[in-house]
């Protein structure tokens, strides 16, 4: 129960709960990736981060080396703590009194630990928001699966969070008795790459980086902009939104078959449907033809139509666009905004960092280093000729803060590549705790709460595009397909053949 407002004379519990802009939620969970806190954490963290996902040992050792450079401490924890503080402050300023905590996929505090803390404090209906701005399996559905897994542990009292340290937790887990079983409902917000705050923060950062290069004496009209995001497997990109065939067959019909529909009322695992995810009242009051009350085959009477679960999600799922398309749409409005501020329109490219996985798997390219190398030779990686830039602004629009990918892949590796090529290089800031960005996160939380209160909500989008879903439709955010084990091995490190010193383990 939400505590009474300080100083108010014995308010009725209902009135204080209704006053909270996040009601009916009684807690917020900031879902993130997690990172090691010291040298001893690196290997177990890496095992968690790669568990069963076919990342080769060589890549594991390489990335462990990145963390070792910083004494085994990932910057993600400090950055998340800053974001948490800023978000708490913003929500408090809006009159919310709900607790806000961090729960991670791969390191402490794990999602189960965060949810146990919230439950112990009396929370029963939690609203989650990720530190991933774009929807794909990694940034969206996988977080919902993390929550689903944690809720199963808590529901069975098997989370082992005794509050008496790791050893006691482990002993409790072995004994099968964690905290007391507790049933929580956890909903998630939509992706937020398309919010005004994301646009404002990145516009400010890119303009500042341009101005810095110019102040360093670089000729303004030759500066090229590289927008960088996390590479994902090509199959994860293809499956991040409905495929052309799925769209053609009309999202609705396609989605009405199979057990996947259970996903529309849960966090991705049919086995926990009913106590996880969307509480029925959370979706009941939504307006419009896009809100069915049963599946197309009528077999799930009483539940919302699985394919039409969210405000702003079109019946044909046309708001569901792929990971690349999401970046491209943000790039368009971002370039408009930057051009308006700079009085010139820079040339821009979308490139990738942090490729992982086995060498025979195809991941999104070009890699930022290969891109810089091509630019210095007067072309793009596809061979098209371009003017050699006078300098590059590298803007990590795929990351909301200075994670390891940013401080290693961009501030260390790509910066070295640029230096070797004599290419002036400035890395633009990430959104971090930019006030407009934090305000947009609070807006997205408030928007989801309004949906849960049954209000008709029109999600704001600077790009005009979604996805707006808070529960992945079955044809969105699907995991990558594995390359067949017998696939012909591509030559290792093919993307770096011209750049041998890139893969030196630091």
Ligand X SMILES: CC1=C(CCC(=O)O)c2cc3nc(cc4[nH]c(cc5[nH]c(cc1n2)c(C)c5CCC(=O)O)c(CCC(=O)O)c4C)C(CCC(=O)O)=C3C
User: Out of Fe ion, ligand X, none, which partner does residue 131 contact, by CB within 5 to 8 A per kind?
Assistant: ligand X
Only segment of 75-83, 115-123, 127-135, 266-274 that touches Fe ion (CB under 5 A): 127-135
Only segment of 95-103, 129-137, 450-458, 491-499 that touches ligand X (CB under 6 A): 129-137
Between 268 and 357, name the residue whose CB sits nearer to ligand X. 357
H/E run at residue 437: helix 435-452
- Residues near 459 by Cβ (< 8 Å), separated by ≥ 6? 190, 311, 312, 447, 466, 468
What is d(CA 453, CA 285) in angstroms, rounded to the nearest whole number? 8
Beta bridge partners of 73: 37
Is there binding between residue 53 and ligand X (CB under 6 A)? yes
Sequential DSSP letters for 199-267: HHHHHHHHHHHHHHHHHTT--GGGEEEEEEEE--BHHHHHTTS--HHHHHT-HHHHHTSSGGGGGGGSS
Only segment of 1-9, 129-137, 153-161, 418-426 that touches Fe ion (CB under 5 A): 129-137
CB of 64 vs ligand X, minimal distance in Å: 9
- Residues near 161 by Cβ (< 8 Å), separated by ≥ 6? 112, 113, 116, 117, 169, 172, 178, 179
Is there binding between residue 201 and Fe ion (CB under 5 A)? no
CB of 326 vs ligand X, minimal distance in Å: 11
Is there binding between residue 126 and ligand X (CB under 6 A)? no
Of 357, 391, 424, 459, the residue at the interface with ligand X (CB under 6 A) is 357
Of 232, 272, 397, 472, the residue at the interface with ligand X (CB under 6 A) is 232
CB of 113 vs Fe ion, minimal distance in Å: 24
Is there binding between residue 227 and ligand X (CB under 6 A)? no
Name the residue among 353, 412, 441, 401 with its Cα closest to residue 78: 401
Is there binding between residue 102 and ligand X (CB under 6 A)? no
Q: Which residue is nearest to ligand X (CB)?
A: 356
Of 33, 110, 210, 267, the residue at the interface with ligand X (CB under 6 A) is 33
Between the two ends of the chain, the Cα-to-Cα distance in Å is: 51
State the Rg of the chain over Cα: 23
The contact mask relative to ligand X for 314-353 (x = CB under 6 A, - = no) is ----------------------------------------
Is there binding between residue 433 and ligand X (CB under 6 A)? no
The one-character DSSP state at 180 is P
Is there binding between residue 324 and Fe ion (CB under 5 A)? no
CB of 136 vs ligand X, minimal distance in Å: 6
Is there binding between residue 128 and Fe ion (CB under 5 A)? no
290 close to 314: Cβ distance less than 8 angstroms: yes
Buried (b) or exposed (e) across 457-469, using 16+ Cβ within 10 A? Answer: bebebbbebbbbb
Could you give the residue ranges of the DSSP H alpha helices within 343-395? 368-376
Is there binding between residue 472 and Fe ion (CB under 5 A)? yes
> How distant, in Å, are the alpha carbons of 358, 494, 497, 502 from that of 491?
11, 6, 9, 16
In 118-230, the DSSP E strands lie at: 125-130, 185-188, 223-230
User: Out of ligand X, Fe ion, none, which partner does residue 389 contact, by CB within 5 to 8 A per kind?
Assistant: none
401 close to 30: Cβ distance less than 8 angstroms: no
Q: Which residue is nearest to Fe ion (CB)?
A: 140
Between 101 and 283, name the residue whose CB sits nearer to ligand X. 101
Residues that bind Fe ion (CB under 5 A): 135, 140-141, 472, 477
Residues that bind ligand X (CB under 6 A): 33, 35, 46, 49-50, 53, 55, 59, 63, 74-76, 131-132, 136, 138-139, 230, 232, 354, 356-357, 398, 403-405
């Amino acid at each position: 129960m939400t505590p009474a407002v300080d100083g108010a004379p014995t308010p009725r519990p209902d009135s204080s709960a209704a006053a909270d802009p996040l009601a009916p939620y009684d807690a917020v969970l900031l879902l993130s990736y997690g990172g090691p806190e010291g040298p001893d954490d690196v290997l177990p963290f890496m095992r968690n981060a790669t568990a069963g996902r076919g990342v080769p040992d060589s890549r594991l050792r390489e990335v462990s080396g990145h963390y070792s450079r910083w004494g085994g401490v990932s910057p993600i924890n400090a950055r998340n703590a800053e974001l948490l503080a800023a978000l708490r402050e913003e929500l408090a300023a809006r009159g919310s009194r709900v607790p806000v905590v961090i729960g991670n996929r791969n390191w402490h505090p794990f999602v189960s630990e965060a949810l146990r803390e919230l439950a112990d404090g009396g929370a029963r209906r939690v609203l989650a928001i990720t530190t991933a701005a774009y929807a794909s399996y990694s940034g969206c559905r996988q977080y919902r699966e993390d929550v689903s897994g944690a809720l199963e542990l808590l529901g069975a009292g098997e989370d082992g969070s005794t509050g008496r340290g790791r050893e006691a937790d482990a002993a409790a887990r072995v004994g099968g008795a964690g905290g007391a079983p507790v049933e929580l409902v956890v909903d998630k917000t939509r992706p937020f790459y398309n919010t005004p705050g994301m646009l404002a923060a990145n516009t400010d950062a890119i303009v500042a980086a341009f101005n810095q290069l110019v102040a360093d004496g670089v000729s303004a009209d030759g500066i090229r902009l590289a927008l960088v995001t996390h590479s994902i497997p090509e199959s994860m990109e293809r499956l991040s939104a409905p495929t052309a065939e799925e769209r053609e067959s009309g999202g609705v019909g396609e989605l009405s078959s199979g057990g996947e529909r259970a996903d529309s009322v849960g966090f991705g695992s049919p086995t926990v449907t009913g106590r996880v995810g969307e509480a029925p009242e959370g979706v009941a009051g939504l307006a419009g033809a896009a809100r069915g009350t049963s599946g197309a085959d009528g077999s799930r009477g009483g539940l919302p139509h699985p394919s039409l679960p969210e405000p702003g999600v079109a019946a044909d799922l046309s708001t569901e666009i792929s990971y690349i398309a999401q970046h491209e749409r943000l790039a368009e409005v971002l370039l408009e905004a930057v051009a308006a501020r700079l009085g010139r329109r820079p040339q821009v490219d979308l490139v990738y960092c942090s490729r992982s996985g086995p060498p025979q798997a195809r991941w999104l390219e070009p890699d930022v280093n290969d891109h810089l190398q091509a630019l210095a030779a007067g072309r793009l990686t596809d061979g098209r000729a371009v003017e050699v830039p006078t300098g590059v602004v590298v803007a990590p629009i795929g990351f909301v803060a200075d994670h390891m990918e940013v401080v290693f892949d961009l501030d260390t590796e790509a910066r070295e590549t640029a230096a070797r090529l004599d290419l002036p290089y400035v890395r633009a800031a990430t959104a971090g705790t930019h006030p407009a960005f934090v305000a947009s996160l609070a807006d997205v939380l408030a928007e989801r709460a309004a949906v849960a209160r049954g209000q008709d909500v029109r999600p704001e989008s600077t790009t005009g595009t979604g996805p707006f879903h808070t529960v992945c439709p079955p044809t969105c955010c699907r995991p990558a397909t594995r390359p067949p084990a017998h696939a012909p091995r591509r030559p290792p490190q093919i993307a770096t053949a011209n750049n041998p010193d890139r893969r030196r383990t630091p």
